[in-house]
Structure 1
Amino acid sequence: MEERARRLAALRDELNAEEDRRLAPLAARHTQGLRRHPDQRPGHRQNYAQDADRILHSKAYSRYIDKTQVFSLIDNDHITHRVLHVQLVARIARTVGRFLRLNEDLIEAIALGHDIGHPPFGHEGERILGELCRQHGLPLFQHNLQGVQFLENFERKGRGWNLTLQTLDGILCHDGESHLPRLAPCRGKDFAALDDEIRRKEQEPLLPLRPLTLEGCVVRLADTIGYIGRDIEDAIELGLITRDELPADCTRLLGNSNGAMVYTLVSDLIDHNRHLRESDSPGGADDWLGFSPDIAAAMLHLKKFNYERIYHNPAFKPDFNRIRICYQVVFAHCLAQVENSMGQGQPGAPLLDNMTADYYRRHTPAAQARDYVAGMTDAFFLRQAAELGCEPPERRCLPR
């Protein structure tokens, strides 16, 4: 076994050496991956590939399967769920990264984990849980912060997955404007800087953050590519809008279907950032990523259309007043259970049993309740609410 490990480690080192010849000068190298705690048994996998594997095997990733993307409680199996969105973003981002000679393993790890902190019922659930957090003395709930929280402090009974700084930073910084002319990475971060950004973001939710790596920048832009046209297709499928209603100036440049939009946006992102294949000055004039001006303007216009006609359209929303009541009841129940278990000298039982002592020490009862509720799938959340006497909204079919 030891001889096999040595042979595999030698192959890993060969891959790392080939990487220096293959990747763009400003791309992230596996050998640059920093972990908060050095792995005792590094094995044959390269750093960011190991991150992607760990995220895929996490329980939080498994729960993507029943998390709302945009449309909740809809009886239509073709409507996008969070797990499909994450896969689309990973695929889109890897394609862009390959053409720009960036690190595809880091891109994949960030993309797979970027939405792992979303609570039940998507952004509406995030707003409701944010209200409850504020009422109980916690910072406003933000899914990007919660994603880092899950992967660093909650998974594996509180031990976390010990992911690299570069992956955690990409997850933290994936949320933000994607139509700006240029998104430049914020080079030179370490774990102290990551922790400081988390603290500052808790205090100032609107604080803009920039990823440490170009790979993180790619995922941030691919996130928009992954949802903007797909949400339109879902809305058309549900009869909320028609294709003829799409803004003409947007469809002229981007196309009028999700497939055309993805192709146009990916092609533009690759072509407009060809300079990254050879640029070699970190923080220099060419260390940035962005869409061409016309495409960026069209995408911004289309996002505004989506917000007005889809995301804020009351026709597709379930009764979120009832969802809010469910959140209040479920959160209060979880908080009471945590507080009772602490009073009986059995911290966490039965909700968060067998977590590390460090987790209990560092997290108030309200924070433990937040972590538990945020990790629920939509279906599990509704079952819990029903068992506690709530009347959750029912699944429905929208008229075509």
Structure 2
Amino acid sequence: MKAEDRIIHDSLKETKRADERLSPYATRNSECIKVKNTKKERTEFDIRWPYEEDIDRVLYSKSYSRYVDKTQALSFFSNVYITKRSLHVQWVSRIARQIGRGLNLNLDLIEAIALGHDLGHAPYGHVGEKAINDCLVERQFGYFTHNANSVRNLLFIERNGMGYNVSLQVIDGILCHNGEILSPVYRPDCQKTVEQFWNEYEKCWHEKDYSLKILPMTLEGCVVRISDVISYVGKDIEDAIKVGIISSEDLPLEVIRVLGKDNKAIINRLIGDLVIHSYHKPYLEFSKEVFQALEVLFTFISTHIHHHPTLLKENEKLTRMVKELYNVLYDDLKYQHYPQKGICAHVQKMSAVYQQTPIELIVSDYLSGMTDSYALRFYEERFLPRQHGEMIEDY
């Protein structure tokens, strides 16, 4: 047996042994299903386990590179320590893997879902997401959600429209990761099929708020879903204190008593409580006391941070900006205003299959792929007058 074949053989044996050591409620590597169901001959040596391949597809995607210039919640504060989307997904991954290790789940699957869960976020986060959604609704095309768009990026936009053949369990976890809602119990939809996944994906684009109704097919997907919440509740508070929106004394006493008053304490309490009360169970849950405190904290963050008057005022400007960008990009593509650059040049580089995409969705793809700073530069270029110097008159 060749050395290469022996290594692959031993790796497969180790994968099997690893599967046997997992919790009975964990997802096995042997259960990995490629969502596009294509068969490809192995042409080069590859020692990676099934979900490790998906981790690499996410890490080396263009969408992942753009995380670095997309903010999390506070888009317009000039502070290097304010959370960027790139840090957020790493924190989600770290928290989720800690929970996964405590519950003996598949850590590769968790990491792939966590790192890829926000790939489809628009510039300026949920503000940009809502603005693009409004534009699609106005054109009677459908609805925009960043989780469905994250799936779209991986499967249909990356590699010039060819996409990646990502595992069903990974792409389903990304689609169902919704961190904007809390639940007392996180129970996976274990009977989900490939057909059901595609049906849910399509409904996210065509039924209002449908993405709030779907559940991950794996317990690992549930872990990422709650880790998304755990990663930002404490950090949003720290960020808001840094920029002066709130002070630590503003936190509700029942939250401080149960969860603590800083990010470290909140994360440690939530992770520990979740692992203890979910151990050897086919679902996730907090203790009643911790969940009630988390609900209070969740409401406090929404009211005092995300809906703070300063943010709402600036978010109105960002909403107008993103909508104006959508409209001008739509006209650029429809009427080929600049055929050799911008969105027109972008479409020309894409695959023949992608070029058949409805114009409303192409504009959504292009705009949602912009980083915060690029969207702002593009807006300035198209809508604001340029400085060309002064005319000096003779006297």
Question: Number of residue pairs matched?
Answer: 379
Distance 1:323 1:264 in 2: 36
SS at the partner of 1:332?
helix
Decide which of 180, 203, 211 is 1:200's aligned counterpart.
203
SS at the partner of 1:80?
coil
Decide which of 325, 336, 358 is 2:320's aligned counterpart.
325
Q: Is the counterpart of residue 337 in structure 1 residue 332 in structure 2?
A: yes
| AA in 1 matched with 2:330 | L
Distance 1:114 1:195 in 2: 17
Per the alignment, residue 128 of structure 1 pairs with 131
- Runs of 4+ off more than 4 Å: 341-344
Q: Is the counterpart of residue 376 in structure 1 residue 370 in structure 2?
A: yes
| AA in 1 matched with 2:361 | A
> What TM-score do you get using the length of structure 1 for normalisation?
0.90
The answer for unaligned runs of 5 or more in structure 1 is 277-286, 392-400
What is the RMSD computed on CA atoms of the aligned residues?
A: 2.2
CA drift at 1:321: 3.5
* Cα distance, 1:38–1:16 mapped onto 2, change above 3 Å: farther
Per the alignment, residue 97 of structure 1 pairs with 100
| AA in 2 matched with 1:187 | C
SS at the partner of 2:215?
coil
Deviations 1:162-215, CA, capped at 9 Å, x for gaps? 100000000000005654221110012222111101222233333311100000
Q: Is the counterpart of residue 29 in structure 1 residue 23 in structure 2?
A: no
CA drift at 1:90: 0.1
Tell me whether 191-200 or 73-82 shows the greater mean CA deviation.
191-200
SS at the partner of 1:387?
helix
Distance 2:350 2:7 in 1: 34
Q: CA contact under 8 A between 1:148 and 1:172: conserved in structure 2?
A: yes
| AA in 1 matched with 2:171 | L
Distance 2:206 2:151 in 1: 16
Per the alignment, residue 50 of structure 1 pairs with 53
Q: CA contact under 8 A between 1:119 and 1:375: conserved in structure 2?
A: yes
CA drift at 1:123: 0.7
Decide which of 302, 306, 318 is 1:307's aligned counterpart.
302
Tell me whether 130-139 or 371-380 shows the greater mean CA deviation.
130-139
> What TM-score do you get using the length of structure 2 for normalisation?
0.91
Per the alignment, residue 6 of structure 1 pairs with 5
Percentage of pairs with the same residue: 37
Per the alignment, residue 222 of structure 1 pairs with 227
Matches within 5 A, 1:250-329: 250-276=255-281, 287-317=282-312, 319-329=314-324
| AA in 2 matched with 1:99 | G
Deviations 1:138-158, CA, capped at 9 Å, x for gaps? 211101110001111101111
CA drift at 1:48: 0.8
SS at the partner of 2:188?
coil
CA drift at 1:347: 12
SS at the partner of 1:77?
coil
Q: Is the counterpart of residue 243 in structure 1 residue 243 in structure 2?
A: no
SS at the partner of 2:349?
coil
SS at the partner of 2:154?
helix
Decide which of 381, 386, 389 is 2:380's aligned counterpart.
386
Distance 2:379 2:337 in 1: 23
The answer for unaligned runs of 5 or more in structure 2 is 386-395
Tell me whether 25-34 or 216-225 shows the greater mean CA deviation.
25-34
Deviations 1:290-317, CA, capped at 9 Å, x for gaps? 1111111110110000011000002245
* Cα distance, 1:241–1:321 mapped onto 2, change above 3 Å: closer
